């Protein structure tokens, strides 16, 4: 049976809508995805299944697992939450020496769950320049072996990268136009790594803390670090003429500028850790619940505004707030233990609304639209 003229008109409208409106959105999401870092462990914390359910209800788009456990990954199966998995630094030498070691890790942490668990990215190591600098020579071979192992398994949509800390890889915060990657790692490690990201359409992953930069620079106003809109609360990059109204954008653009100087202008940026401590010792007077709430709410509001950064209209691709729960057993300064945004009973510390953030690879609504139109056409045809 042939379609009626009304059905043909509807079909034409659908294709016009799909190609002129939805495809550009698929190519570049207007808003970054906002998620959290989830460190599993501790008898006082809820089960992963309850965590996954609660995070779905809070409309959190993505979760970073710095020490992924198979049971935790399984808990996020069939959820609408994407996962960023990290491979511990201690695994890097073995993975660099033999691809079968990379396969062994993937068979335990990815193969049993993917694609039911929406794993989007794997970070091979986390900030090795700080804690495991002796592993630098092994890093890129390990990354390549993980990438090749995924493709050997027929998995082509999971991106592979590594995570750097801003303070360990960048020369300066301000002005962003003067930022470069630190030597000697710029030539020996970072540039070959950026080559890999460009080849594989992957992203640079960064732990980025305005709190640490603020504490090390007495000239930075507290409101500037906390996304507060106040008179004269800006800094101008006199080289580019760009005005910065918060420290987060300044740090992100320092990375973007350094990549451009190195010849890589289009590599996406994912902020794997950022946040503000809610408590600290006597020397950390700015570690407080009030400031933590101001930073985290200001961050989410800024990301949901769609303004991006001055040097990149789309801004960052994803941002993960550090972290979901406080870590009572964490060693170091008092503030290192108090970054959580939820209490162990799963209630919120702060009134942060995550519902306006984008989903990673968020085309689910497009699929709904597609099948809705198909159903309408089928009814017209009958």
Task: List the one residue out of 358, 367, 365 whose CA is nearest residue 60.
Answer: 358
**CATH number of the domain within which 258 lies:** 3.20.20.80
Q: How many domains is the chain built from?
A: 2
pLDDT greater than 80 at residue 193: yes
- Does 108 lie in the same domain as 8? no
- Structural domain that includes position 377: 1-29+364-382
Read off the pLDDT of each residue in 137-156 and give the average, rounded to a whole number: 98
Determine how β-strand 242-244 pairs with β-strand 235-237: antiparallel
Q: What is the mean pLDDT of residues 353-382?
A: 54
6 with 101, same domain: the answer is: no
Q: Are residues 5 and 38 in the same domain?
A: no
Coil/strand/helix, residue 17: helix
In the predicted structure, residue 379 carries a pLDDT above the cut 90: no
pTM score, whole prediction: 0.86
Residues 12, 58: one domain?
A: no
108, 144 Cβ separation under 8 angstroms: no
Please determine, for residue 244, whether its predicted confidence score (pLDDT) is greater than 60.
yes
| Predicted confidence (pLDDT) per residue in 102-142, tens digit | 999 999 999 999 999 999 999 999 999 998 889 999 999 99
236 and 150 in one domain? yes
Whether residue 381 is found in the same domain as residue 331: no
Q: Are residues 157 and 254 both part of a single domain?
A: yes
Lowest model confidence (mean pLDDT) among 15-19, 110-114, 176-180, 361-365: 15-19
| Shared domain check, 280 and 372 | no
- Residue 274 to residue 153: CA distance in whole angstroms: 33
pLDDT at 325: 95
Same domain, 192 and 340: yes
Q: Residue 231: what pLDDT?
A: 80
State whether 126 and 169 are in the same domain: yes
Strand partners, 271: 206, 319
For the chain, the average pLDDT equals: 88
**What pLDDT score does 368 carry?**
39
List helix spans (H) across 275-321. Answer: 289-304
pLDDT in tens, 308-342: 999 999 999 999 999 999 986 555 556 678 999 99
CB atoms < 10 A from the CB of 307, how many?
12
Per-residue pLDDT tens for 24-43? 333 344 699 999 999 988 77
- Residue 27 is predicted with a pLDDT of 37
Q: What is the mean pLDDT of residues 269-289?
A: 95
Q: What is the predicted pLDDT for the residue at 41?
A: 81
One domain, residues 63 and 6: no
Residues 35 and 85 reside in one and the same domain: yes
The pLDDT value recorded for residue 361 is 56
Residue 362: pLDDT over 60: no
The bridge status of strand 33-37 relative to strand 242-244 is unpaired
């Amino acid at each position: 049976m042939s379609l009626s003229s009304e059905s043909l008109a509807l079909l034409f409208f659908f294709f016009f809508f799909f190609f002129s409106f939805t495809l550009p959105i698929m190519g570049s999401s207007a808003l970054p995805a906002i998620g959290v870092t989830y460190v599993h462990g501790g008898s006082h914390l809820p089960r992963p299944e309850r965590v996954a359910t609660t995070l779905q209800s809070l409309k959190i788009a993505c979760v970073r697992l710095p020490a992924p456990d198979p049971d935790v990954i399984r808990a996020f199966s069939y959820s609408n939450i994407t996962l960023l998995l990290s491979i511990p630094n201690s695994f890097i030498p073995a993975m660099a020496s033999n691809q079968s070691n990379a396969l062994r890790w993937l068979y335990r942490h990815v193969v049993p769950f993917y694609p039911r668990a929406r794993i989007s990215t794997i970070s091979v190591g986390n900030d090795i320049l700080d804690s495991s600098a002796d592993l630098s020579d092994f890093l890129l071979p390990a990354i390549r072996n993980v990438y090749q192992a995924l493709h050997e398994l027929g998995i082509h949509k999971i991106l592979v990268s590594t995570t750097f800390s801003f303070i360990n890889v960048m020369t300066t915060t301000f002005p962003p136009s003067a930022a470069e990657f630190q030597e000697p790692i710029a030539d020996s490690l970072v540039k070959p790594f950026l080559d890999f990201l460009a080849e594989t359409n992957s992203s640079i992953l960064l732990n980025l803390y305005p709190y640490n930069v603020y504490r090390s620079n007495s000239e930075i106003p507290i409101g500037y670090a906390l996304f507060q809109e106040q008179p004269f609360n800006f800094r101008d990059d006199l080289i580019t003429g760009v005005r910065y109204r918060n420290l987060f954008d300044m740090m992100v653009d320092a990375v973007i500028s350094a990549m451009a100087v190195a010849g890589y202008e289009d590599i996406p940026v994912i902020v794997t850790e950022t946040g503000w401590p809610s408590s600290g010792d006597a020397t950390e007077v700015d570690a407080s619940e009030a400031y933590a709430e101001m930073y985290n709410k200001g961050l989410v509001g800024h990301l949901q505004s769609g303004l991006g950064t001055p040097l990149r209209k789309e801004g960052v691709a994803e941002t993960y707030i550090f972290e979901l729960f406080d870590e009572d057993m964490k060693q170091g300064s008092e503030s290192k233990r108090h970054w959580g945004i939820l209490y162990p009973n799963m209630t919120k510390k702060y009134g942060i609304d995550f519902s306006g953030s984008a989903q990673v690879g968020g085309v689910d609504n497009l699929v709904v639209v597609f099948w809705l139109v198909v159903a309408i056409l089928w009814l017209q045809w009958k």
